[in-house]
Amino acid sequence: MTLTRRHFLTRSAAIGCSAAASPLLTPVSFAAAPWDTRLVVIILRGGLDALDMVQPYGDPAYAGLRNKLAGGPLKGGLDLDGFFSLHSELSRLMPLWKAGELGFVHAVSTPYRNRRSHFDGQDLLEAGSMGLGQVSDGWLNRMLQHMGGVESRTAFAIGQGEMKLLNGGAPVSEWGPDAALILSPQAELLAEQLMQGDPLFQSALAEALALSQGGVGQQDFEGDDSSMMEMTMPLPTRGKTHQKIAEYAAERLRNETRVAAFSINGWDTHSRQAAGLKAGFGRLSDCILALRDGVGPAVWNKTAVLAMTEFGRTVRENGTEGTDHGTGGAMLLAGGAIHGGKVHGRWPGLAEADLFDRRDLMPTADVRGQAAWVLQGLIGVGRETLEQEVFPGLDMGEDPGLLL
Amino acid sequence: MAFTPELAEIRFGCGLSPVLPAKDAVEDILQHLAGPDHMATAYPIDSSDSLMPYLSELNALRRKRRKAQGTDAFEELNKTYKAMRRHERANWARWFSHVVLRHSQTRDGFRERLTLFWADHFTAIGKGSLSRQMNAPYVETAIRPHLTGRFSELLVAAVTHPLMLSYLDQNRSVGPGSRAAQRAGKPIGLNENLAREVLELHTLGVDGPYSQQDVRQLAELFTGLKSNFKKGFQFRPNLAEPGHETILGKQYGGGPARLTQIHAVLHDLSVHPATAAHIARKLVVHFVEDTPDPALVDHVAARFRDTGGNLEQVYAALLEHPAAWVSELRNVKPPLDFVTSACRALAVRPEKLQEGFPQNVVSHLIKPMTMMGQKWETPLGPDGWPEEDDAWITPQSLAARIRWAMLAPQHLVDLLPPPETFVMTSLGSFATGPVQFAAGAAETQSEAIGLVLSSPAFQRR
In SS3 terms, B30-68 reads as HHHHHCCCHHHHHCCCCCHHHHHHHHHHHHHHHHHHHHC
Tell me which residue of A196, A143, A146, A141 sits closest to A174, measured CA to CA: A141
Considering the domain architecture, whether residues B372 and B427 belong to the same structural domain is answered as yes
Band of pLDDT at residue A34, cut at 50, 70 and 90: confident
Tell me which residue of A51, A135, A117 sits closest to A368, measured CA to CA: A135
DSSP A78-112: EESSSS-EE-GGGGGGHHHHHTT-EEEEEEEE-S-
Residue of A nearest to B331 (CA): A200
Residue at B287 is within a domain: no
Residue A128: pLDDT over 50: yes
Residue at B219 is within a domain: yes
Residue A352 sits at the vertex; the CA angle it makes with A346 and A358, to the nearest 5 degrees, is: 95
How close A117 comes to chain B (CA, Å)?
A: 8
Three-state DSSP at B234 gives strand
Chosen from A141, A162, A175, A194 to mutate, greatest number of chain B CBs within 10 A = A194
Strand A54-55 vs strand A85-86: parallel, antiparallel, or unpaired? antiparallel
Would you call B395 and A178 a contact, using CB atoms and an 8 Å cutoff? no
Q: Which of B240, B270, B300 is the last residue in one of the domains?
A: B270
Q: What is the pLDDT of residue B128?
A: 82
DSSP 8-state class, residue A4: -
Helix B335-345 vs helix B73-105: angle between axes, to the nearest 10 degrees? Answer: 70
Rounded mean pLDDT, B335-351: 98
| CB of A152 less than 8 A from some CB of B | no
Residue at B15 is within a domain: no
Contact A253, A186 (CB under 8 A): no
Considering the domain architecture, whether residues B351 and B389 belong to the same structural domain is answered as yes
Which residues span the domain enclosing B445? 335-459
Considering the domain architecture, whether residues B345 and B429 belong to the same structural domain is answered as yes
Rounded mean pLDDT, B383-411: 96
pLDDT digits (tens, 9 = 90+) for A87-103: 999 999 999 999 999 99
- Number of domain units in chain B: 3
Residue A226: pLDDT over 60: no
Max mean pLDDT among A205-219, A227-241, B355-369 falls in B355-369
Q: Which of B248, B270, B292 is the last residue in one of the domains?
A: B270
Residue B361: pLDDT over 50: yes
Residue at B13 is within a domain: no
Q: What is the pLDDT of residue A162?
A: 84
Residue A320: pLDDT over 90: no
> Residues 52..111 of A with a Cβ closer than 8 Å to B: which?
67-68
**Between A135 and A33, where is the model more confident?**
A135
Band of pLDDT at residue A5, cut at 50, 70 and 90: very low
Tell me which residue of B42, B13, B36 sits closest to B350, measured CA to CA: B42
Would you call A193 and B193 a contact, using CB atoms and an 8 Å cutoff? no
d(CA B36, CA A41): 52
Please list, residue by residue across B420-433, b when 16 or more beta carbons sit within 10 angstroms of its beta carbon and e when fewer do.
Answer: eebbbbbbbebbbe
Residue B331: pLDDT over 90: yes
For the ranges A45-49, A217-221, B15-19, B22-26, which has the lowest average pLDDT?
Answer: A217-221
Q: What is the pLDDT of residue A224?
A: 44
Band of pLDDT at residue A115, cut at 50, 70 and 90: confident
d(CA B427, CA B435): 9
Residue A401 sits at the vertex; the CA angle it makes with A395 and A403, to the nearest 5 degrees, is: 115
Residues of A with Cβ-Cβ distance to B435 under 8 angstroms:
194
d(CA A23, CA A13): 10
> Residues 274..313 of A with a Cβ closer than 8 Å to B: which?
none
For A365-404, strand residue ranges (E) read 365-366
Rounded mean pLDDT, A303-329: 95
Residue B288: pLDDT over 70: yes
Q: Which of B147, B173, B189 is the last residue in one of the domains?
A: B147
Cβ neighbours of residue B119 closer than 8 Å, sequence gap 6 or more? B139, B143
Would you call B407 and A231 a contact, using CB atoms and an 8 Å cutoff? yes
DSSP 8-state class, residue B333: P
> Which residues on adjacent β-strands are paired with residue A304?
A39
Tell me which residue of A247, A328, A259 sits closest to A288, measured CA to CA: A247
For the ranges A215-219, A265-269, A308-312, A367-371, which has the lowest average pLDDT?
Answer: A215-219
pLDDT digits (tens, 9 = 90+) for A336-353: 999 999 999 999 999 999
Tell me which residue of A36, A37, A33 sits closest to A305, measured CA to CA: A37
Residue at B398 is within a domain: yes
Considering the domain architecture, whether residues B137 and B185 belong to the same structural domain is answered as no
| CB of A9 less than 8 A from some CB of B | no
Please list, residue by residue across B211-233, b when 16 or more beta carbons sit within 10 angstroms of its beta carbon and e when fewer do.
Answer: ebebbbbbbbbbbbbbbbbeeeb
Band of pLDDT at residue A1, cut at 50, 70 and 90: very low
Band of pLDDT at residue B184, cut at 50, 70 and 90: confident
Considering the domain architecture, whether residues B108 and B169 belong to the same structural domain is answered as no
Q: Residue B259: how many CB atoms within 10 A of its CB?
A: 17
Considering the domain architecture, whether residues B343 and B415 belong to the same structural domain is answered as yes
Rounded mean pLDDT, A60-76: 96
Considering the domain architecture, whether residues B189 and B136 belong to the same structural domain is answered as no
Band of pLDDT at residue A2, cut at 50, 70 and 90: very low
Residue at B379 is within a domain: yes
As a whole number, the mean pLDDT across chain B is 95
Considering the domain architecture, whether residues B371 and B408 belong to the same structural domain is answered as yes
Contact B215, B248 (CB under 8 A): no
What is the dihedral angle through the alpha carbons of A270, A271, A276, A281, rounded to the nearest 10 degrees? Answer: 60
Q: What is the pLDDT of residue A17?
A: 36
Phi, psi for A230 (deg, rounded to 5): -115, 145
Query: What's at A192, amino acid-wise?
Result: E
Considering the domain architecture, whether residues B142 and B170 belong to the same structural domain is answered as no
Considering the domain architecture, whether residues B106 and B190 belong to the same structural domain is answered as no
Q: What is the pLDDT of residue B185?
A: 72
Band of pLDDT at residue A222, cut at 50, 70 and 90: very low
DSSP 8-state class, residue B364: I
Residue A6: pLDDT over 50: no
Residue at B292 is within a domain: no
Considering the domain architecture, whether residues B97 and B137 belong to the same structural domain is answered as yes
As a whole number, the mean pLDDT across chain A is 89
**Between A111 and A226, where is the model more confident?**
A111
How close A17 comes to chain B (CA, Å)?
A: 33
pLDDT digits (tens, 9 = 90+) for B242-259: 999 999 999 998 889 999
Residues of B with Cβ-Cβ distance to A193 under 8 angstroms:
434, 437-438
Residues of A with Cβ-Cβ distance to B223 under 8 angstroms:
none
Query: What's at A4, amino acid-wise?
Result: T
Would you call A180 and B400 a contact, using CB atoms and an 8 Å cutoff? no
Let me know how long chain A is.
Answer: 404
Would you call B398 and A204 a contact, using CB atoms and an 8 Å cutoff? yes
Q: How far is CA B237 from the centre of its chain?
A: 31
Q: What is the pLDDT of residue B1?
A: 77
Q: What is the pLDDT of residue A32?
A: 56
Domains of chain A: 26-178+240-390 (3.40.720), 179-235 (no CATH)
Band of pLDDT at residue A214, cut at 50, 70 and 90: low
Q: What is the pLDDT of residue A14?
A: 36
Residue at B69 is within a domain: yes
Q: Give the percent of chain A with pLDDT over 90.
A: 79
Contact B33, B312 (CB under 8 A): yes
DSSP B288-325: T-SS--HHHHHHHHHHHHHTTSBHHHHHHHHHHSGGGG
Band of pLDDT at residue A133, cut at 50, 70 and 90: confident
Considering the domain architecture, whether residues B94 and B171 belong to the same structural domain is answered as no
pLDDT digits (tens, 9 = 90+) for B296-309: 999 999 999 999 99
Rounded mean pLDDT, B279-306: 98
Q: What is the pLDDT of residue A229?
A: 67
Across the interface, of A116, A187, A208, the residue whose CB is closest to B398 is A208
Q: Give the percent of chain A with pLDDT over 70.
A: 88
Band of pLDDT at residue B217, cut at 50, 70 and 90: very high
ipTM for the whole complex:
0.95
